[in-house]
Amino acid sequence: MTDTSSTSSASPRSGRKPTAFRLDDRNVRLTEDPAAVPDNDEALIAALEEETETPRLPATASSPKSAFGFGKWIAIGFGGLVSLAAGLAVDALIRDLFSKTEWLGWAGIGLATLAALGLAGFILRELLGLLRLGKIDHLRAALAKAAEEDDARAAGHHLKELMALYQDRPETARGRKQLTGHMREIIDGRDLVVLAERDLLRPLDLEAKRIVMNSAKRVSLVTAVSPRALIDLLAVLIENMRTIRRVAALYGGRPGTLGFLRLARQIATHLALTGGMAAGDSLASQVLGHGLAARLSARLGEGVINGLLTSRIGIAAIAVCRPAPFIDTKGPSVTEFMTELLNTGDRKTEEKTEDSNKK
């Protein structure tokens, strides 16, 4: 809405001075014509034309069409050929064993059966691991949406699924009991998710931080004392894989081989989206700001840097493996791990200086 009296006062036809009017004044008149000129003793209020939004194209306009699955056909074909070749090789081996001695043939059949059962169990375990990871991803997205929309009904439904995920975990019994009591009350959806984060997931979050902190310390120590860069690389790789598995198991994921590869891909994506290894928290500037170069030797400084990078990977693992989003808090950050790692580096430097003085 706009008052056109100021516009008319600027017009040479009226010669009016600027005047203030109350909206309930009888001299105030509504009009739909923005070009209307008010009389000397009245003011006009005209409705502004609403800007028309440019119509948006549907999402399918920018979505690529699914191409014919030639790659899938190739994978299925080669997989089938490899399976047939393995089956024929086993069959030929068992026939040869029977041709030599009957008991060797039966032993071959027993071993082949054992291998088949093991393969079936492996496939079943991998499928269950992928299903658990998919369920955790679904819970995290659903709870984030429920908190964003403040939907108490959706939050309650998905929090029941969250409690079912931890029903066989004795350490979560107290949190599940408290959360069940909260769900009987009339609470907003966002508040329910916050209470679940505080009562049910906080002990798991503290344990996850401890796992990542210990892993970062081990990487820092190994890097500082190892004589070869290859040993550093292997130590960092093994420790990060171990940390990802432990964090995933803590939050209920328990991934298999394929599930671990999926987690690794998700963690790499998360690191890329949150700024990579050195961005986001300005890792290099933080380290320099703490005077690391002045207090630590080059080798110990390299160990602390590797420890901080390991902690970043652990933080990404927590964000990917956690079945609920961080609503009440922002989640762990590299800064939380930096102080302890730097203190550890200082202690190592002091010990090294004392040893040198003794010698």
| Residues 54-66 pLDDT 10s | 666 665 666 566 5
Backbone angles phi, psi at 29, to 5 degrees: -125, 140
Name the CA dihedral angle for 195, 197, 200, 202, rounded to a multiple of 10 degrees: -130
- Of 12-26, 84-98, 202-216, the range with the lowest mean pLDDT is 12-26
- Of 116-125, 277-286, 327-336, the range with the lowest mean pLDDT is 277-286
110 belongs to a structural domain: no
Give the residue ranges of DSSP H helices in 150-227.
152-165, 173-183, 189-196, 202-225
194 belongs to a structural domain: no
315 belongs to a structural domain: yes
Question: pLDDT: is 22 or 221 the higher one?
Answer: 221
Tokens of 39: 């009389």
Enter the DSSP assignment of 11: S
Instruction: Fill in the amino acid letter for 131.
Output: L
Indicate if the alpha-carbon torsion angle 18, 21, 27, 28 is positive or negative. positive
Tokens of 292: 């690391």
147 belongs to a structural domain: no
Of the candidates 9, 11, 41, which has an alpha carbon nearest to the alpha carbon of residue 25? 41
Q: Which of 11, 26, 49 is the last residue of a domain?
A: 49
Question: pLDDT: is 245 or 41 the higher one?
Answer: 245
Number of neighbours of residue 269 by Cβ within 10 angstroms? 12
Q: pLDDT tens digit string along 313-335?
A: 888 889 888 998 888 888 887 77
pLDDT at 62: 60
pLDDT at 218: 87
Give the residue ranges of DSSP H helices in 41-151.
70-100, 102-149
For residue 56, the SS3 value is: coil
99 belongs to a structural domain: no
pLDDT at 235: 81
What is the domain extent for residue 44?
Answer: 1-49
302 belongs to a structural domain: yes
Of the candidates 241, 235, 237, which has an alpha carbon nearest to the alpha carbon of residue 218? 235
Task: Report the distance separating Cα 269 and Cα 283, nearest Å.
Answer: 19
For residue 30, the SS3 value is: strand
pLDDT at 85: 92
Rounded to 5 degrees, what angle do the CA atoms 258, 259, 264 make?
Answer: 100
Global pTM value:
0.65
Task: Report the distance separating Cα 359 and Cα 351, nearest Å.
Answer: 12
Number of domains in the chain: 2
- pLDDT tier for residue 118 given thresholds of 50, 70 and 90: very high
3 belongs to a structural domain: yes
pLDDT at 265: 86
Task: Report the distance separating Cα 38 and Cα 128, nearest Å.
Answer: 76
Of the candidates 5, 29, 25, 28, which has an alpha carbon nearest to the alpha carbon of residue 15? 5
- Of 192-196, 288-292, 319-323, the range with the lowest mean pLDDT is 288-292
pLDDT at 21: 67
Percent of the chain with pLDDT over 70: 70
Of the candidates 328, 26, 34, which has an alpha carbon nearest to the alpha carbon of residue 205? 328
Task: Report the distance separating Cα 203 and Cα 200, nearest Å.
Answer: 7
Question: pLDDT: is 322 or 298 the higher one?
Answer: 322
Mean pLDDT, all residues of the chain: 77
